[in-house]
Structure 1
Amino acid sequence: MIKFTYIKYSSFLVFFVLFASCKKTNWRENFREKEKSPFGNYIISKEATNLFPKEKITFLDENIYDFLLFDNPEDSTTTRNYILIKHSAYHQTKEGTDELLDFVSQGNSAFIALNFFSERFKEALEFTTNNLDENVWSIHALKKLEGEFYLKNTDFGTEAFKFDRNIRRNYFLQYSDTKTKVLGTTVVGGEQVPNFIKVYHGKGAFYLHTNPIVFTNYYMLSNKDAYTANLLSYLPNNEVLWDTHIKSSKYSNNNRKQPSVFKFFLQHPTLTWFLVVSLVGLLLFMLFNARRKQRAIPEIAPLKNTTVEFTQTIANLYLNEKDHKNLIDKKIAYFLEKVRSKYLINTNNLNEDFINKLATKSGNELQRTKYLINTIITLNKRAECSEEELIGLHKMIENFFNK
């Protein structure tokens, strides 16, 4: 075990100013080494030289499987540390997992912090996990998740490291007692359960952590950098391979593209001729079939009945001019015309006999009919009318015909 120099707080001032100046903060968990948002890995990657001051650090720009398969030196005397801090190792294939397991078994070390480990990886190292918050994804819900972490080594103190948000209740449930050592715990339901373990594998060892969020910019700026430095201090003094996990493997069988159907046809002369003849026949069919088709007859839209729109426009014109008397006269004319056409009653004399006939044929009460006709006679004699009188007459006529 080695002791690292803790990260200097003065160097974080610049990053704090960057966060504070952002108008809209991105609280999504991304774990990217180039991302300066709260839950990116920008600070921990930049401070890697302080954490490993005497060691060469290589940030991988290719998949770990491709690197180990082609760029890994054959010198077995040189041991190295592999570091992966992500949400999940979704770019890691079955072949990549096997290659990493072989890499560690040769005497190398691997520090891996993930929310989700692959089933292949868990089977190989004989452990299982339990994530009580695996279905929690929203920013608001994750913000409520707090946690307390402890480290077994008393050199790091016995006090709890408290974290105030995005701490999933994720821990190791089962593991092999013969090759696993618990290095750290978290509190779940009032009980301390392991969230940081060392798994011996061949000549090397895996250091596994279930909460990669503690390595992000947010906690590195929240006086929690001592905890992350303590975690990484378990790694030996070796060259570091830092996996940025940005690319899929070019050579893994899981990521190889399926051969094209056309490429298969072109590999055989008989099938090639079949493909050419079929394509030519299809083109000729489309060409001659298109010439025999009648051209589409353009659709002619019927003339629109704009009477309603015209009437509305005229009515609005009168309303804007406040010519209420004119509108009342037209309302009266409309009423009398409808009475003549619907009830076949002469409207020349609006006398008592007219009122009785109109009430009988329309089904309206006599008193109601008399009130409407008297209102019409009164308004017809006036030289000016108010807006209220216009509205009242309109409602009386509408109620009369809706009977």
Structure 2
Amino acid sequence: MNKTFKIYAIIFIIIMVILALLEVNKKEVTDWRKNFDLNEKSPFGLFVFNKESKDLFGGNLKKIDQTPYEYYNQNKKTSHNILVVEKEIDKESWRSILGQVSTGSDAMLIVSKIPKEISDSIGYYDSQISFNDQNVLKLTDKNYLNDFINLDKFPSGRGFSYIKPGVEILGKTVEKDNIDQANFIKVKFGKGNIYVHCEPLFLTNYYLLKPGNVRYAQDVFSYLNDKETVWFVEAADAKATSRFFMRFILSKPALKYAWWVFLAGLILFIFFNAKRKQRIVPIIEPLKNTSVDFVKSIGNLYLQEGDFHDMMAKKAQYFLNKVRMDLLIDTQNLDDEFAKKLQLKTGKTIEIINEAIVLIRKAQDPYASVMKEDLTRMNKILDEIIR
């Protein structure tokens, strides 16, 4: 394990330890989003209301996960109650609801934004918004004056600024520095009634769990007659079940944390591993040996000059130097003793040795007449003796 890898490993371990400490010591963050989800336990979910709804409606409650349009096309209903809580419903479904109300059913809409199909049916009104941090929801009925809810967390401040004659005001939003504004109304429509409450926060977990607040919810629903209530819990905007293959892992905090740590580790591994890879080694051409070319050039020069005697002298000098260095034979006297020693150490015949000595002596004689054939013969014999 090299030094660089050890450094990367230490950095990785330190990062993992820091992430683990941050995860252990982090404070759980409260989700204050107004999701109005039936199964959500966050402050503004409807988990508590969903669990207590049967008691609120005397056990005569039916939850429908179809759109009103689909449901009423498949089911012929007699007079009943219709409940919609903060859901966007398609235009055809609203028309189906109004059709049921006109025949004697009652509809209670607890929505912050009133759909145009309903507002056009009950008469023109403006929905104004107050930006106060706190307000109080009260009912106008004298029997319910002591049942109210104090909205101290993110109230929408919605209310009706214009009420058409004939519309009955059942509840108001009371603020310290503003005039009271209607938030709960009743409108006669055909043989039935439409109830509209524009502040659905009173049904959320945060407010229903506060002591006494449940009475306000009971009072609101007491306006509905004692008959079957159909609650459309899902509509056109129903949350489809996620098909993402990681949905289970990401839904569990521990598994989600482990997944992100795994991804972080994988990225670091790829990064460090890539850094450890040896770069491409450039091909460096070795230096060219020009000795042979030099020798050829010198040889060609001698051949052009025709100085065969000098070439033989240098060849003889090179041969004798090699005999001294490699064979350790004294070359001062080229006599019979020299010839015998050279013959013993090289294994060549005495005739070849004697011929080589004759040619060497001729090369050393500055006055000897040398022919090209002599140079060729000498070069062949000397190379044959010492290879």
Q: State the TM-score, normalizing by the size of structure 2.
A: 0.51
* 1:36 aligns to 2:31 (yes or no): no
Measure, in 2, the Cα distance between the counterparts of 1:29 and 1:98.
27
Is the Cα contact below 8 Å between 1:61 and 1:247 reproduced in 2?
no
Shift of 1:124: 1.8
SS at match of 2:185: strand
Shift of 1:241: 0.5
Q: Which residue identity is paired with 1:106?
A: T
Alignment match, 1:69 = 73
Q: Which residue identity is paired with 1:82?
A: I
Find 2:154's aligned residue among 166, 190, 197. 166
Measure, in 1, the Cα distance between the counterparts of 2:222 and 2:37.
22
Alignment match, 1:225 = 214
Q: Which residue identity is paired with 2:46?
A: N
Alignment match, 2:85 = 85
Q: Which residue identity is paired with 2:173?
A: T
Alignment match, 1:243 = 232
SS at match of 1:101: helix
Alignment match, 1:117 = 114
Measure, in 1, the Cα distance between the counterparts of 2:209 and 2:146.
22
* 1:47 aligns to 2:35 (yes or no): no
Is the Cα contact below 8 Å between 1:127 and 1:172 reproduced in 2?
no
Alignment match, 2:195 = 207
Alignment match, 1:147 = 135
Measure, in 2, the Cα distance between the counterparts of 1:127 and 1:169.
19
Identity across the alignment (%): 26
Shift of 1:203: 0.5
Q: Which residues in structure 2 correspond to 1:344-355 (within 5 Å)?
A: none
Q: Which residue identity is paired with 2:79?
A: T
Alignment match, 2:123 = 126
SS at match of 2:125: strand
Change (3 A) 1:32 1:157: same
Is the Cα contact below 8 Å between 1:63 and 1:246 reproduced in 2?
yes
Shift of 1:31: 0.8
Measure, in 1, the Cα distance between the counterparts of 2:103 and 2:159.
28
Shift of 1:165: 1.1
Shift of 1:72: 3.1
* 1:186 aligns to 2:186 (yes or no): no
Q: Which residue identity is paired with 1:52?
A: F
Shift of 1:131: 3.5
Change (3 A) 1:94 1:160: closer
Q: Which residue identity is paired with 1:185?
A: K
Is the Cα contact below 8 Å between 1:40 and 1:216 reproduced in 2?
yes
Measure, in 1, the Cα distance between the counterparts of 2:146 and 2:61.
31
Is the Cα contact below 8 Å between 1:38 and 1:218 reproduced in 2?
yes
Is the Cα contact below 8 Å between 1:59 and 1:244 reproduced in 2?
yes
Is the Cα contact below 8 Å between 1:32 and 1:244 reproduced in 2?
no
CA RMSD in angstroms comes to 2.5
SS at match of 2:180: strand
Change (3 A) 1:160 1:216: closer
Q: Which one has more relative contact order, counting CA pairs under 8 Å at least 6 apart?
A: 1
Kindly name which structure, 1 or 2, has the bigger radius of gyration based on alpha carbons: 2
Change (3 A) 1:31 1:160: closer
* 1:101 aligns to 2:101 (yes or no): no
Shift of 1:50: 1.1
Is the Cα contact below 8 Å between 2:67 and 2:235 reproduced in 1?
yes
Q: State the TM-score, normalizing by the size of structure 1.
A: 0.49
SS at match of 1:47: helix
Measure, in 2, the Cα distance between the counterparts of 1:198 and 1:150.
15
Point out the more displaced range, 30-39 or 228-237.
30-39
Shift of 1:234: 0.7
CA deviation string 1:341-365 (max 9, x = no partner): xxxxxxxxxxxxxxxxxxxxxxxxx
Shift of 1:193: 1.2
Aligned pair count? 214
Shift of 1:177: 1.1
SS at match of 1:145: coil
Structure 1 runs of 4+ with >6 Å offset? 301-304
Measure, in 2, the Cα distance between the counterparts of 1:198 and 1:39.
26
Shift of 1:158: 4.9
Segments of structure 1 that go 5 or more residues without pairing to the other structure are 1-21, 137-143, 250-300, 305-403
CA deviation string 1:31-74 (max 9, x = no partner): 11121211111111211121122x5311111111111121233x
Q: Which residue identity is paired with 2:44?
A: F
* 1:26 aligns to 2:31 (yes or no): yes
Is the Cα contact below 8 Å between 2:68 and 2:235 reproduced in 1?
no
